Amino acid sequence: MPSVPAFGALWIACACLATCAQPRGGTAPADGGADRPAKVPEAAEPATVRPGDLAPLADGQRAVFWSSPEDAVPDARVDERHYVHTNERKHYLYFPYMDCAGGGYVGVGSDQNLTMIARCRAGFAWILDYDEVVVLLHAVHRAFILESPTPDEFVGRWHLDARESSMAVIEKHEAGNPRLGRIKKIFRKYRKNLLAYFEIRRQQSFRGEPVTWLSSEEDYAYVRDMYRAGRIRPMLGDLLAGAAVTGIGGAARSLGVTVRAIYMSNVEELVRWEKPFKKSMMSLPLDERSVVMRTLSSVDDYPDADSRWHYNVQSGLDFQERLGGKIKRIQALMPQRGLTEFKGLSTLGLAGKSAKGMK
C-alpha cells in the first residue's frame, strides 16, 4: 500500500497540480510510435510562481474554495490501516511532466502531496482522504509549517523534547475546532514514527538535487506560502462516492481554475472505473497541460522504480477520453503504456513507445 491507502472508498483530491500533457519530446499515440523508450523530458524550471507571489484569497474566492461538499466518513475502508505517511519514494519521476503554473491540484494522501503541489507550482490545492485520521493529521502539518520558517524547524517540532511546545502550537492554530482533542491524540500517537519519516525526507535527493518539500528550501517556502494564503484544503473525500471530487470540479470552474495535476497513488488498481468515479473525474476542468499521476504495485507485472511501485503519468485529457469508453480497470489500459528511460516510469497519452507485452 502506498501512503495513500488502497481506497475502497476512493478519496483525496487536491486541486492544483498541472503537468504538461505534452512533455518536450512530442506526443505519440497510446499504442506506440517510437522505436526506443522515450527520454524523460527535462523538468521545467518551477519558477512560474515563486514563494512570495501568492496572495491570500479574497473573501469570495475563499468561500467558494472552502465550501464545496465533503464525503461522509465511510463505515469501513478497504484497508483499515492509517497511512499517515507515504511508502512511495520516487514522486520526483513525475516532475518533468508537471507544470501547474498557478492552476489546480487534486491529490490523495498525506504530505507527499506537498512535494507535488510545490514542484508544479499549484495555486489551489485540494487534498482528499477517506480516512479521517489522515485528514486531521494535515491540521498538524499546517500548524507546524505556519510556525516554522525552515524545514529544520518543522522537523524539530516532532522531537520528544519539543512535544509540549508543539502541542501548544496545535492548540493555537486549532482553537475552537471540535476535533482538537483527536488531533492532539493523533500527534501523540504518530509523533515518533513521523519524526523518523520526516528526517529521511529532509535529506532526500536525486542526482544531487533536493526532491521533496522538506529537502528543498524553496519548495518548503512555497508550501508555507500556500498555507498562509489559505490555498491548501485538506478534506474528506471518497472517490467512489464522488460528491467531494464533483464539488471540487464545480469550485474550480467557479474560480476560473484549470486542474493541471491529479495524483491518485494506487487507488485505481483497487477499484473499478464505475459511474460515480467517472462522473466526478469528468467534472474536473482540464486542459492539454493537465496530467494524472498514479502508482501500481510492481508485483503486478510492472517494472518497479523503488522496489515496490511502478509510476505512471497520463495526459489528463486522454484520461477523461478513456473514461468515456468501455475500460473499467486501469490494468486494462496499462498494456498500452509508453516506455521511458526509467524502467519504473511509464506514460499514457504522452510521448513514448508502446509497452504492450512488457513485463
Q: Which domains does the chain have, with CATH numbers?
A: 59-144+230-354 (3.40.50)
Residue 72 has pLDDT above 60, yes or no: yes
Please name the residues in contact with 12: beta carbons below 8 A apart, sequence gap of 6 or more.
Answer: 4, 106, 107, 108, 109, 113, 127, 128, 129, 130, 237, 239
Instruction: Count the Cβ atoms, other than its own, within 10 Å of residue 116.
Output: 27
Residue 352 has pLDDT above 50, yes or no: no
Q: Please, which pLDDT band fits residue 158 given cuts at 50, 70 and 90?
A: very high
Q: What is the pLDDT of residue 12?
A: 35
Three cell numbers, residue 85:
505517511
Lowest mean pLDDT among 73-77, 123-127, 186-190, 282-286: 73-77
Q: Please, which pLDDT band fits residue 44 given cuts at 50, 70 and 90?
A: very low
Residue 77 has pLDDT above 90, yes or no: no
CA distances from 192 to 117, 171, 196 (A): 26, 19, 7
pTM of the shown model:
0.85
Mean pLDDT to the nearest integer, 76-85 = 72
Residue 328 has pLDDT above 70, yes or no: yes
Q: What is the pLDDT of residue 51?
A: 76
Q: Are 250 and 243 in contact (CB under 8 A)?
A: no
Q: What is the pLDDT of residue 60?
A: 97
Q: In this predicted model, what pLDDT tens digit does every residue of 221-278 receive, in sequence order?
A: 999 999 999 999 999 998 888 899 999 999 999 999 999 999 999 999 888 899 999 9
Highest-confidence range of 7-16, 17-26, 142-151, 336-345, by mean pLDDT?
Answer: 142-151
Angle between helix axes 275-282 and 243-255 (nearest 10 degrees) is 10
Name the residue among 329, 298, 286, 307 with its Cα closest to residue 106: 286
Q: Using DSSP, state whether 278 is helix, strand or coil.
A: helix
Q: What is the pLDDT of residue 49?
A: 77
| Average pLDDT, rounded, for the chain | 85
Q: What is the pLDDT of residue 21?
A: 33
CA distances from 259 to 68, 118, 250, 256, 298 (A): 16, 15, 11, 10, 28
Q: What is the pLDDT of residue 70?
A: 96
- Residue scoring higher pLDDT (219 or 339): 219
Could you say which DSSP state residue 177 is in? Answer: -
Could you say which DSSP state residue 86 is in? Answer: -
Q: Please, which pLDDT band fits residue 154 given cuts at 50, 70 and 90?
A: very high
Q: Are 4 and 265 in contact (CB under 8 A)?
A: yes
CA distances from 36 to 64, 95, 334, 354 (A): 46, 21, 18, 9
Residue 358 has pLDDT above 70, yes or no: no
- Residue scoring higher pLDDT (240 or 350): 350
Q: What is the pLDDT of residue 48?
A: 64
Three cell numbers, residue 66:
472552502
- Residue scoring higher pLDDT (101 or 79): 101
Q: Are 276 and 123 in contact (CB under 8 A)?
A: no
Instruction: Count the Cβ atoms, other than its own, within 10 Å of residue 11.
Output: 33
Q: Please, which pLDDT band fits residue 78 given cuts at 50, 70 and 90?
A: low
Mean pLDDT to the nearest integer, 283-292 = 97
Q: Please, which pLDDT band fits residue 308 given cuts at 50, 70 and 90?
A: confident
